[in-house]
Amino acid sequence: MDDKGRIIYQTVYESPVGALTLTASEDALTALSFPQERYPEDVERLTKECEVCIPAADKIPRILRETREWLDIYFSGKRPDFTPALAPEGSEFRKMVWEELLKIPYGCIITYGQIAKQVADRKGILRMSAQAVGGAVGHNPIGIIIPCHRVVGTGGNLTGFGGGIRTKEALLKLEAWIWAGFIFRRREQHCKKEPETNEKKTGGSDEFQRDLRNRELL
Protein backbone atom coordinates (compact mmCIF):
# COMPACT_ATOMS: atom_id res chain seq x y z
CA MET A 1 0.00 0.00 0.00
CA ASP A 2 1.25 3.45 -0.94
CA ASP A 3 1.85 5.52 2.20
CA LYS A 4 1.76 8.83 0.34
CA GLY A 5 -0.94 11.00 1.87
CA ARG A 6 -1.52 8.71 4.84
CA ILE A 7 -1.98 10.59 8.10
CA ILE A 8 -0.03 9.50 11.15
CA TYR A 9 -0.12 11.06 14.59
CA GLN A 10 2.75 11.86 16.92
CA THR A 11 2.98 13.08 20.47
CA VAL A 12 5.75 13.26 23.06
CA TYR A 13 5.51 11.54 26.43
CA GLU A 14 7.84 12.87 29.13
CA SER A 15 9.07 9.81 31.03
CA PRO A 16 11.69 9.09 33.70
CA VAL A 17 13.97 7.79 30.91
CA GLY A 18 13.51 10.82 28.68
CA ALA A 19 11.08 12.15 26.11
CA LEU A 20 9.43 9.26 24.25
CA THR A 21 7.94 9.89 20.82
CA LEU A 22 4.70 8.00 20.21
CA THR A 23 3.68 7.42 16.59
CA ALA A 24 0.33 5.97 15.60
CA SER A 25 -2.17 5.50 12.82
CA GLU A 26 -5.84 6.21 13.44
CA ASP A 27 -6.28 3.07 15.52
CA ALA A 28 -2.91 1.50 16.40
CA LEU A 29 0.50 2.38 17.80
CA THR A 30 3.26 1.96 15.23
CA ALA A 31 6.29 3.24 17.15
CA LEU A 32 7.54 4.22 20.58
CA SER A 33 10.91 5.90 20.13
CA PHE A 34 13.60 6.90 22.61
CA PRO A 35 15.43 10.27 22.56
CA GLN A 36 18.54 8.67 21.04
CA GLU A 37 17.50 5.77 18.85
CA ARG A 38 20.05 3.20 17.80
CA TYR A 39 18.37 2.98 14.38
CA PRO A 40 16.84 6.43 13.68
CA GLU A 41 16.31 5.42 10.06
CA ASP A 42 13.59 3.02 11.23
CA VAL A 43 11.62 5.92 12.68
CA GLU A 44 12.21 8.07 9.60
CA ARG A 45 10.90 5.28 7.39
CA LEU A 46 7.59 5.29 9.29
CA THR A 47 6.96 8.94 8.53
CA LYS A 48 8.31 9.03 4.97
CA GLU A 49 5.72 10.30 2.51
CA CYS A 50 3.13 10.50 5.28
CA GLU A 51 1.38 13.55 6.63
CA VAL A 52 2.50 13.89 10.24
CA CYS A 53 -0.09 15.40 12.54
CA ILE A 54 0.88 16.63 16.01
CA PRO A 55 -2.53 17.05 17.67
CA ALA A 56 -3.40 19.53 20.38
CA ALA A 57 -3.60 18.14 23.91
CA ASP A 58 -7.40 18.03 23.79
CA LYS A 59 -7.49 16.34 20.38
CA ILE A 60 -5.08 13.44 20.88
CA PRO A 61 -6.44 10.25 19.21
CA ARG A 62 -7.72 7.53 21.50
CA ILE A 63 -4.82 5.18 20.72
CA LEU A 64 -2.29 7.76 21.89
CA ARG A 65 -4.34 8.50 25.03
CA GLU A 66 -4.41 4.78 25.83
CA THR A 67 -0.66 4.52 25.25
CA ARG A 68 -0.02 7.44 27.58
CA GLU A 69 -2.25 5.79 30.18
CA TRP A 70 -0.29 2.53 29.80
CA LEU A 71 2.99 4.39 30.30
CA ASP A 72 1.65 6.25 33.34
CA ILE A 73 0.83 2.93 34.98
CA TYR A 74 4.11 1.32 33.95
CA PHE A 75 6.32 4.14 35.23
CA SER A 76 4.41 4.18 38.51
CA GLY A 77 5.94 0.74 39.12
CA LYS A 78 2.82 -1.26 38.35
CA ARG A 79 1.88 -3.77 35.64
CA PRO A 80 -0.65 -2.37 33.16
CA ASP A 81 -3.64 -4.70 32.82
CA PHE A 82 -4.22 -3.87 29.16
CA THR A 83 -2.20 -3.41 25.97
CA PRO A 84 -2.77 -0.61 23.47
CA ALA A 85 -3.48 -1.66 19.89
CA LEU A 86 -0.14 -2.42 18.22
CA ALA A 87 0.77 -2.45 14.53
CA PRO A 88 4.56 -2.70 14.24
CA GLU A 89 5.87 -2.65 10.67
CA GLY A 90 8.55 -5.12 9.66
CA SER A 91 9.37 -8.39 7.91
CA GLU A 92 7.56 -11.59 8.83
CA PHE A 93 10.68 -12.80 10.64
CA ARG A 94 10.93 -9.64 12.72
CA LYS A 95 7.24 -9.79 13.57
CA MET A 96 7.70 -13.37 14.73
CA VAL A 97 10.51 -12.29 17.05
CA TRP A 98 8.46 -9.35 18.37
CA GLU A 99 5.58 -11.73 19.12
CA GLU A 100 7.98 -13.79 21.22
CA LEU A 101 9.02 -10.62 23.07
CA LEU A 102 5.39 -9.99 23.97
CA LYS A 103 5.33 -13.35 25.74
CA ILE A 104 7.99 -12.28 28.26
CA PRO A 105 6.15 -11.56 31.54
CA TYR A 106 6.62 -8.35 33.46
CA GLY A 107 9.57 -8.67 35.83
CA CYS A 108 11.23 -11.52 33.92
CA ILE A 109 14.20 -11.66 31.59
CA ILE A 110 15.19 -14.04 28.80
CA THR A 111 18.33 -14.51 26.72
CA TYR A 112 18.76 -14.06 22.98
CA GLY A 113 19.53 -17.77 22.77
CA GLN A 114 16.22 -18.65 24.40
CA ILE A 115 14.33 -16.39 21.99
CA ALA A 116 16.19 -18.02 19.10
CA LYS A 117 15.10 -21.47 20.31
CA GLN A 118 11.47 -20.35 20.55
CA VAL A 119 11.57 -18.95 17.01
CA ALA A 120 13.22 -22.13 15.72
CA ASP A 121 10.50 -24.23 17.33
CA ARG A 122 7.82 -22.13 15.68
CA LYS A 123 9.49 -22.42 12.29
CA GLY A 124 9.99 -26.15 12.74
CA ILE A 125 13.75 -26.00 12.29
CA LEU A 126 16.58 -27.35 14.40
CA ARG A 127 18.15 -24.03 15.33
CA MET A 128 18.03 -20.32 14.70
CA SER A 129 20.87 -17.84 14.81
CA ALA A 130 20.86 -15.82 18.04
CA GLN A 131 22.60 -13.08 16.08
CA ALA A 132 19.70 -12.87 13.60
CA VAL A 133 17.26 -12.74 16.50
CA GLY A 134 19.36 -10.01 18.10
CA GLY A 135 19.04 -7.95 14.94
CA ALA A 136 15.25 -8.27 14.99
CA VAL A 137 15.15 -7.40 18.70
CA GLY A 138 17.29 -4.33 18.03
CA HIS A 139 14.90 -3.10 15.35
CA ASN A 140 11.81 -3.38 17.57
CA PRO A 141 9.86 -0.20 16.73
CA ILE A 142 7.68 -0.16 19.86
CA GLY A 143 10.03 -0.02 22.82
CA ILE A 144 8.92 -0.84 26.39
CA ILE A 145 5.45 -2.10 25.40
CA ILE A 146 7.04 -4.76 23.19
CA PRO A 147 9.59 -5.46 25.95
CA CYS A 148 12.92 -5.90 24.19
CA HIS A 149 14.58 -4.49 27.34
CA ARG A 150 13.85 -7.86 29.01
CA VAL A 151 16.25 -9.66 26.67
CA VAL A 152 19.77 -10.02 28.05
CA GLY A 153 22.97 -11.81 27.17
CA THR A 154 23.98 -15.20 28.48
CA GLY A 155 24.35 -15.10 32.26
CA GLY A 156 22.24 -11.97 32.58
CA ASN A 157 24.76 -9.44 31.29
CA LEU A 158 23.41 -6.34 29.58
CA THR A 159 23.79 -5.99 25.82
CA GLY A 160 22.80 -3.44 23.20
CA PHE A 161 19.47 -1.65 23.44
CA GLY A 162 17.82 0.85 21.09
CA GLY A 163 17.32 3.40 23.86
CA GLY A 164 20.79 2.92 25.34
CA ILE A 165 22.18 0.65 28.05
CA ARG A 166 21.41 3.11 30.86
CA THR A 167 17.76 3.19 29.80
CA LYS A 168 17.64 -0.60 29.69
CA GLU A 169 19.13 -0.75 33.18
CA ALA A 170 16.58 1.78 34.46
CA LEU A 171 13.64 -0.19 33.01
CA LEU A 172 14.86 -3.45 34.53
CA LYS A 173 15.35 -1.78 37.90
CA LEU A 174 11.81 -0.47 37.68
CA GLU A 175 10.67 -4.08 37.25
CA ALA A 176 12.47 -5.07 40.47
CA TRP A 177 15.85 -6.16 39.12
CA ILE A 178 19.05 -5.06 40.79
CA TRP A 179 22.51 -4.66 39.31
CA ALA A 180 24.97 -7.13 40.82
CA GLY A 181 28.41 -6.72 39.35
CA PHE A 182 28.05 -7.39 35.64
CA ILE A 183 24.64 -9.08 35.68
CA PHE A 184 21.11 -8.41 36.83
CA ARG A 185 19.55 -10.43 39.61
CA ARG A 186 15.90 -10.55 40.61
CA ARG A 187 14.98 -9.11 44.01
CA GLU A 188 12.39 -11.87 44.28
CA GLN A 189 13.03 -15.53 43.61
CA HIS A 190 10.34 -16.04 41.00
CA CYS A 191 9.05 -13.98 38.13
CA LYS A 192 5.56 -12.60 38.33
CA LYS A 193 3.06 -13.95 35.84
CA GLU A 194 1.82 -11.45 33.26
CA PRO A 195 -1.80 -10.46 33.92
CA GLU A 196 -4.51 -11.13 31.36
CA THR A 197 -4.75 -8.46 28.70
CA ASN A 198 -7.95 -6.44 28.35
CA GLU A 199 -9.12 -7.33 24.84
CA LYS A 200 -11.28 -4.23 24.67
CA LYS A 201 -8.14 -2.19 24.28
CA THR A 202 -6.28 -4.29 21.74
CA GLY A 203 -6.38 -4.31 18.00
CA GLY A 204 -4.20 -2.80 15.32
CA SER A 205 -2.76 -4.72 12.43
CA ASP A 206 -5.20 -7.56 11.77
CA GLU A 207 -2.44 -9.96 10.81
CA PHE A 208 -0.24 -9.12 13.77
CA GLN A 209 -3.11 -9.29 16.27
CA ARG A 210 -4.45 -12.53 14.75
CA ASP A 211 -1.07 -14.14 15.26
CA LEU A 212 -1.04 -12.99 18.87
CA ARG A 213 -4.51 -14.37 19.55
CA ASN A 214 -3.57 -17.70 17.98
CA ARG A 215 -0.72 -17.95 20.46
CA GLU A 216 -2.89 -16.94 23.42
CA LEU A 217 -1.04 -13.68 23.93
CA LEU A 218 -4.23 -11.62 24.16
Residue 155 belongs to domain with CATH number: 1.10.10.10
Whether residue 213 lies inside any domain: the answer is no
In this structure, the answer to whether residues 84 and 139 fall within a common structural domain is no
In this structure, the answer to whether residues 155 and 171 fall within a common structural domain is yes
CB-based contacts of 89, cutoff 8 Å, min separation 6: 30, 46, 141
Residue from 137, 138, 154 nearest 101 by CA? 137
In this structure, the answer to whether residues 82 and 122 fall within a common structural domain is no
Phi, psi dihedral angles at 120 (to 5 degrees): -60, -40
What's the total number of domains in the chain? 2
**pLDDT tens, N- to C-terminus, the chain (218 residues):** 445 568 899 999 999 999 999 999 999 999 999 988 767 677 777 777 688 888 878 889 999 999 999 999 999 999 999 999 999 999 999 999 999 999 999 989 999 999 999 999 999 999 998 889 999 999 999 999 999 999 998 877 787 788 888 999 999 999 876 555 445 555 544 454 444 344 344 455 555 545 444 434 33
Cα separation, 198 vs 68, whole angstroms: 16
Give 185: exposed, middle or buried? Use CB within 10 Å, 0-12, 13-18, 19+: exposed
Whether residue 214 lies inside any domain: the answer is no
Q: Domain range for residue 36?
A: 7-88
Question: What amino acid positions are annotated as catalytic residues?
Answer: 148
Last residue of a domain, one of 38, 62, 88: 88
Residue from 170, 179, 175, 134 nearest 38 by CA? 134
Cα separation, 194 vs 188, whole angstroms: 15
Phi, psi dihedral angles at 154 (to 5 degrees): -55, 130
Whether residue 138 lies inside any domain: the answer is yes
In this structure, the answer to whether residues 21 and 79 fall within a common structural domain is yes
Is residue 43 within 8 A of residue 36, CB to CB? The reply is no
Cα separation, 118 vs 64, whole angstroms: 31
52-94 per-position pLDDT tens digit: 888 878 889 999 999 999 999 999 999 999 999 999 999 999 9
Last residue of a domain, one of 55, 88, 121: 88
Whether residue 152 lies inside any domain: the answer is yes
Task: Tell me the pairing of strands 51-53 and 110-111.
Answer: unpaired
Whether residue 14 lies inside any domain: the answer is yes
